[in-house]
Structure 1
Amino acid sequence: MSRGSVLIVEDEHFLGSNLQEYLRRRGWNAQLARTGEHALAEYERTRPCVVLMDYELPDMDGFQILGAMRAREDVCGCVMMTAHTSESVVWRAGEQQVQHVLHKPFPLAEMEKWLLAASSTCTCGTHDA
């Protein structure tokens, strides 16, 4: 049974690959993008119901990517990951309707719990959880 579609946006190779493998084993249709530009292309191609977004990427930050994704009429849920937690990031995440901010390192079960919750906000038509 599929839990839904997720786009993982993470530039750190080892972490991104591990998150993708874990989520696939848990029944998610998980795609991985390592840059903001790649994330936007994958978002267009796959139309995920939820995005697991790293805050800092080499070419843009997670809020810039999320803003470009949400400029469309459909809406995906978002869970943000960051090792650089600050009040301003958490505040901005709330303002951008990010469902949760995960502080690296985080338990995988907690990540999946928040992905499931965030995927329920999907209006893109590909939600199959």
Structure 2
Amino acid sequence: MDKIKILLAEDEPSLGQIIKESLETRNFEVLLCVNGEEALEIYKNKHPLLLVLDVMMPKKDGFSLAKEIRKENPDIPIIFLTAKSQTEDVVKGFNLGGNDYLKKPFSMEELIVRMNSLLNRTKKNDNSTPISIGKFTFNLKKQTLEIEGTTENLTHREANLLYYLIKNKNQVLERSFILKKLWGDDDFFNARSMDVFITKLRKKLKLDPSIQIINVRGFGYKLIY
């Protein structure tokens, strides 16, 4: 069974190690960081499925980190760990996109139960359901486009780019957002690469003339159908 990759950001080394070792006996792969900046870098490069963030961390606190990550990824589950129990902190955590909140000290069993609950909820929304787009049927999980009995295979990046265009149907998908999300950086060379992928998607969708990917100059792309 594949291990479930999670990111744990905890600035107390002994506590972080205890949590890491406990989770690793329960089929989790734990990416342990000791500050918010390191956590953000690992999040961008390693693509964990769930985040466990200590609120009070050096360089970037858990709330600031969650706020930054939520701009790019509205779906990843986030659990905050904190020594604080004030109501305003709990409210702030949820307002910044936290899914759960655990006060120190806590039991490992409680943490694992909460993690599994969020992961199971995510699985139910795992994007495996085919999506109708004009005359096409798009399946993100299989990375396919089907039309009139013909199946077109997509690359991983093509499929994810199309998925975000569909999620933002009739709205502008910002270049910087999708570049950071799928390419990791919004520099010039990645932007040119994305333009090539958009051209490829247009060619694959041309069997249905009602579908268009419009270039909104200076902002991004808009899928209309």
TM-score, shorter chain, exceeding 0.5: yes
Normalising to structure 2: TM-score of the pair?
A: 0.52
Q: Spell out the pairing of 1:28-47 with structure 2 (5 A cutoff).
A: 28-47=28-47
What is the Cα deviation at residue 99 of structure 1?
1.8
State the match for 1:26 in structure 2: 26
**Structure 1 partner of 2:215:** none
Residue of structure 2 equivalent to 1:54? 54
1:8 is aligned to 8
Partner residue in 2 for 1:71:
71
The structure, 1 or 2, with the larger RCO (C-alpha pairs under 8 Å, 6+ apart) is 1
Check the 8 A contact 2:12/2:34 in 1, yes or no.
yes
Q: Whose radius of gyration is greater, 1 or 2?
A: 2
Partner of 2:96: 96
Which 5+ residue runs of structure 1 have no aligned equivalent?
none
Structure 1 outlier segments of 4+, above 6 Å? 122-125
Distance in 1 of aligned mates of 2:103 and 2:22:
18
* Whole-angstrom CA distance in 2 between matches of 1:108 and 1:92: 24
Could you tell me whether the CA contact under 8 Å between 1:75 and 1:124 is conserved in 2?
A: no
When the two structures are aligned, how many residues end up with a matched partner?
Answer: 125
> CA contact under 8 A between 1:99 and 1:114: conserved in structure 2?
no
SS at match of 1:71: helix
Residues 46-78 of structure 1 show CA distances to partners (whole Å, capped at 9, x for unaligned) of 111110110100122211001111221463101
Task: Name structure 2 gaps, 5 residues minimum.
Answer: 128-225
What TM-score do the two structures reach when normalised by structure 1?
A: 0.87
- Whether the aligned pair in 2 keeps the contact of 1:2 and 1:29 (CA below 8 Å) is no
Identity of aligned residues (%): 26
Q: Please give the secondary structure, in 2, of the residue aligned with 1:29.
A: strand
